[in-house]
Structure 1
């Protein structure tokens, strides 16, 4: 009796504990909408420029902008001819701010900053305005060419600045860098203080693509211990150390900490006066070797500044013992790539994060979406529901290991029938653990089917049923991040620069699977193509790939090196070939270079990293994707099920997603699935239906439409406009919201037809 009671109570206690953690962490409080997980209202204060072009020479112009350069310091100014606004770096003369030391005053007025290493691997910085730097500037069509010789370092760099329409283009070709002594180039930053501002002297913010998007509003200097800097497309595991952060600074292990969001798009922005003046930067070459940074006032100086760093070398850990101890050394060979960034100058209603997202979606449509830009026009009229079914996994037994079936193919079919009987007409059934060995035990090198869930014939029957009953069956695979049971460690694991295996390890070594390996990207790509071709022959139409579209790393096996940029090319080629073989590909939180090959995006980021200096979360990513791509929430029964989460999904236009099994969670206690708090379909069916039909009512009229505007009407109240003339307003607060346009009940939403009204600068 005691054992049976324990079995009954365990999943209940597990769920209660999970809910308690969620509440204590602030996920569902009455004023949650005031946190940086949401967006604050704008103030729309008028902004005037503090800069002029006295002492500068005009070197290029277009109908929209003029480029001016100070030949003595290489400082630049950009005059927006449409508004008269002058963009610059720092004030000079008696009006200059004095919190910068002599060295940084020179760097702040530089068109180029370099980070370099000495022979001992110590990092230092110099700017092109440095007194010891020898500079030459020559006129070229539509701009200027620079040559900067840091003679005492033996480093010489050539680059150009050109004007195109309403953008300024900075470019440095790889062959324009020379090194002749013991110093080596680490990285470069173009115009490191351009578009900077001091504390809160003007109204505005910096935008960074952290998760869905984050704002760092200009404010008075604070004693932040760090700044924002993240690699575009995440870390390069073939060079960087691979750790899971434990930022709680406590004695507990990091087993429950989630991986923080990464930078999926090579963009950033700065706004000087909302809907007045904005700079939007897009990295158009070298994104895979770059990082986006943002320094709020109080970090190193009183300036707010943002930009892009192009990384030619970095330090990495060279092991000196089998225990993992080692020393930090600098890359011997620099990364070979051409660095280019375009700074677009936006004005009026384009000059905010919404305008940036729309501009990116439109101007870079071909690069982002290719021929899939009209994907939503395929006739989908009802909100899809994504249900991931976990089929099987390895299980500890008295004598070795076995396989536990958590949902058979027939049971998955029954789940679909249940949903369809409840009037869910558009279903994406994702099946994970269908391979022989289950989720964490299948060999990634071959196509196989787990007999415990019915085997190949049962899955073929499921595919046939999906065609007959009108739902999508999507098989989930992961050939990138795997356990030691899934891979030949001597042959299939990726190798980093120190010639060690690339792996990720949790703190708690008592866990069954505390270490995961990253496979060789060449082999992983081959396996994907082989599986796609094999599945297509058997009648399977859809394949979802975990990690492959979101983890970008090379392979540094000696004499067989595959650098990161070539790995990106290989991934794109592989996805294109997989699609051409007749298989639609779905990806999880993928980097933007994969979007054009994807039929849908799973686990779309809905929150940023929530650093203290990040003031707002904004749906920049969702605005870019809207009307073009299916994008789904994280599993809504696994940390994204609060009322505010549901409202945010509606506001962001994200489709619902759940993960389920047929068995109780306590039955999975001896499998690697033990940390899922609650997945039993019967327990969640009613809640899935409640959430789905509410979201369906809200989002059905908006399917295939693009977001064209978003306005925070007040704290916790947001209006989102679509290009089909409809708007949806969401009220996260405990009070009813009323305006001349719309009234919304507490913690609710309302859709309405937009009237043809000029809202003005401040919206409603």
Structure 2
């Protein structure tokens, strides 16, 4: 089987009636059977694979024929007695109905029978007449697992484009097509090659060729993270989100980069090393065609699961672009540079303008809902963590401390606070100062050149199920938190509903009508660059790729009408509209099969966007200096999340995670770190990263387009690199040590 897969260009999986997954490959189940067609295209060719046990059609063989006509029109026309017996044996007689029904025949037997009937003068028209007279008509034969998969191979300059037109996919509804994987072994590296596979896990990761990690699970993660409209009952592992639809391979002094151009929201990136099933290291893309989940039926003490299938598939193309590198550019930095050039050309991206200072990015938490009671009656009330006037005070403190370039993300400013109600109408939080306080803050930031980005969640509904998407089991897409010990969904800890993509345009339009009266240019998008979800409602089904198109269109509308956008997460589809990206990935999921993290995301995007990872005081590194060193390595900006109020306000509420945000605990440290790195970051802010290396264990070096090199020592002890001494948790810029 694995040898056949090595010879196959297409691998498909499909569901049977029980929801079990089966597999075919284009070698055993198409090419070896001669079930394919090749035709020429401009700059390429098209291969149509008919995969499965395709029953050949012989139109002059009747499915059902009356006993009398069978005798007169067929048997009486055959002179040879043995031949008559042979033909008669291929039909079974129903004595009660007085009809003959053709038996199930192998292809070669059907071919012989068709020839005998033709010699007897029995035609396809005769067969059609008999079928119709006996109720068979155009009825299809018993359902078979048969698939038609067209693949187009074309050249675009030095690139190879491989495309599967999804609208031309054909499958029997009794056997829904689960996944299509094209060119799984394209460019596969044998055991004699050195290099690595690049996978886009989080910021990026490398899998060394022939690493011998056969005991680790093969790599397989979905692009843009998991589809939220799959009801996940148990979550054992949380992975970093795959933000960019790319993958690659380096072997010796050659490399390839794969870009998933279309169908990216339906795609996963898969990779594996040699030695598990075959002698090759391979990385590729795989596309989901039909989604499936189980609906559980309960009666008394008995339960049973019934498979439920997606009823509307994507009608575009599943498309990959391969580009090739050699020599000094054949590494992950070269791949990232190739992808950067691709994005810049596709979206007309422009490098950032020069500036005297790098931005200090500040996120403030505004209001939140807190349970209170009056005369023993419980109710929810908005309580302030940072009012509009207090936000101004913090900005004044930063400016007085010498931090001149600030971009402010303000979370929880309207409709009840952080987990706000539907944004289709805007009601600015009175607990923060109301509309007047908001206008005063907006005027202040405008006068002082501060970027102001009020935050809004469009796709996560924190109140009310109206307009929400639907799971495959027809229930509303409600998301809950997960028990950190048992890993199961905790139905007592509701998080939010997922908005249907079909309802997103109406919600955005309603928001923009009110936002136009507020008097601010700038917006922070909490979720529109962070997640893509389907809707399996039978009445308005939206597949994930079409959902991506809706999100991109509405983000474009927000950009044009609301002004500059700060986007959280920064997945690829949001890049054409982003000015600032926060919570960008800075590490991988560190799966067992991967060997090292790389900042592919930042290498590809730096110089075109202001980037920031997690807030320094909320990062998993638990050490703001380490976060600062990572910012120097990746050219990212200083980012803090604060509240003006004491953190005790959130104790024993749904916002316990904000326990360490009081600005007084972080202010001096934040200003000190910014003062330290600003002179460096300001010089490289609009420069691409042209080189990234690891000259020693725990030491990395980044080179920017203007020649500035930063060498960072992440070790807790000093390190010597190329004759330079670098202190513990320190760095060098241009040979001068900074501590």
Do the two structures share a fold, i.e. TM-score over 0.5? yes
Alignment of 1:148 with 2:44, yes or no, is no
What is the correspondence of 1:450-461 to structure 2 with a 5 Å cutoff?
A: 450-461=429-440
Aligned counterparts of 2:490 and 2:19: Cα–Cα separation in 1: 37
Alignment of 1:202 with 2:184, yes or no, is no
1:353 maps to which of 319, 327, 332:
332
The total of aligned residue pairs comes to 629
Unaligned ranges ≥5, structure 1 = 1-102, 248-258, 755-764
* 1:559-615, Cα deviation, whole Å (9 max, x unpaired): 222332222222122111112214222111022111111111111111111111111
Change (3 A) 1:446 1:242: farther
The offset of 1:738, in angstroms, is: 4.0
Aligned counterparts of 1:327 and 1:685: Cα–Cα separation in 2: 56
Aligned counterparts of 2:348 and 2:279: Cα–Cα separation in 1: 46
Aligned counterparts of 2:171 and 2:492: Cα–Cα separation in 1: 49
* 1:348-373, Cα deviation, whole Å (9 max, x unpaired): 12211100000110133133xx3442
2:644 maps to which of 662, 679, 682:
662
- Report if aligned partners of 2:217, 2:592 keep a CA contact under 8 Å in 1: no
Alignment of 1:559 with 2:539, yes or no, is yes
Aligned counterpart, 2:453: 474
Aligned counterparts of 1:545 and 1:422: Cα–Cα separation in 2: 29
Change (3 A) 1:633 1:322: farther
**Cα RMSD (Å) of the superposition?**
2.5
The offset of 1:148, in angstroms, is: 1.9
- Report if aligned partners of 1:533, 1:578 keep a CA contact under 8 Å in 2: no
Aligned partner of residue 397 in structure 1, secondary structure: strand
Aligned counterparts of 1:670 and 1:512: Cα–Cα separation in 2: 15
Aligned counterparts of 1:683 and 1:736: Cα–Cα separation in 2: 29
Aligned counterparts of 1:292 and 1:645: Cα–Cα separation in 2: 28
Aligned counterparts of 1:180 and 1:549: Cα–Cα separation in 2: 36
The offset of 1:390, in angstroms, is: 0.8
Unaligned ranges ≥5, structure 2 = 54-144, 484-488
2:228 maps to which of 227, 237, 248:
237
The offset of 1:312, in angstroms, is: 1.1
Aligned counterpart, 1:177: 169
Alignment of 1:595 with 2:575, yes or no, is yes
2:20 maps to which of 109, 122, 126:
122
2:690 maps to which of 704, 708, 718:
708
Aligned counterpart, 1:366: 345
Alignment of 1:427 with 2:328, yes or no, is no
Aligned counterpart, 2:60: none
Aligned partner of residue 320 in structure 1, secondary structure: strand
* 1:180-237, Cα deviation, whole Å (9 max, x unpaired): 58433222212222222345x3211111111111111123433435222122122233
The offset of 1:660, in angstroms, is: 0.8
Aligned counterparts of 2:648 and 2:414: Cα–Cα separation in 1: 23
The offset of 1:522, in angstroms, is: 3.5
- Report if aligned partners of 2:423, 2:511 keep a CA contact under 8 Å in 1: no
Change (3 A) 1:243 1:467: farther
Aligned partner of residue 605 in structure 1, secondary structure: coil
Aligned counterpart, 1:135: 36
Aligned counterparts of 1:225 and 1:733: Cα–Cα separation in 2: 28
The offset of 1:500, in angstroms, is: 1.6
Aligned counterpart, 1:499: 474
The offset of 1:543, in angstroms, is: 0.9
Aligned counterparts of 1:459 and 1:325: Cα–Cα separation in 2: 55
Aligned counterparts of 2:632 and 2:577: Cα–Cα separation in 1: 26
- Report if aligned partners of 1:545, 1:587 keep a CA contact under 8 Å in 2: yes
- Report if aligned partners of 1:172, 1:339 keep a CA contact under 8 Å in 2: yes
Aligned counterpart, 1:108: 6
Aligned partner of residue 236 in structure 2, secondary structure: coil
TM-score norm. by structure 2 comes to 0.80
- Report if aligned partners of 2:235, 2:482 keep a CA contact under 8 Å in 1: no
- Report if aligned partners of 2:524, 2:565 keep a CA contact under 8 Å in 1: yes
Aligned counterpart, 2:734: 752
Aligned partner of residue 514 in structure 1, secondary structure: strand
* 1:513-532, Cα deviation, whole Å (9 max, x unpaired): 43321122333343334323
Aligned counterpart, 1:676: 658
The offset of 1:504, in angstroms, is: 1.7
Change (3 A) 1:527 1:185: closer
Aligned counterpart, 1:541: 521
Aligned counterpart, 1:190: 182
Alignment of 1:314 with 2:288, yes or no, is no
Aligned counterpart, 2:260: 283
Change (3 A) 1:182 1:675: closer
- Report if aligned partners of 1:532, 1:583 keep a CA contact under 8 Å in 2: no
Change (3 A) 1:471 1:348: same
The offset of 1:451, in angstroms, is: 0.8
Aligned counterparts of 1:523 and 1:157: Cα–Cα separation in 2: 33
Aligned counterparts of 1:615 and 1:139: Cα–Cα separation in 2: 42
What is the correspondence of 1:298-337 to structure 2 with a 5 Å cutoff?
A: 298-321=275-298, 326-337=305-316
Instruction: Indicate the larger mover: 444-453 or 330-339.
Output: 330-339
The offset of 1:535, in angstroms, is: 2.5
Aligned counterpart, 1:685: 667
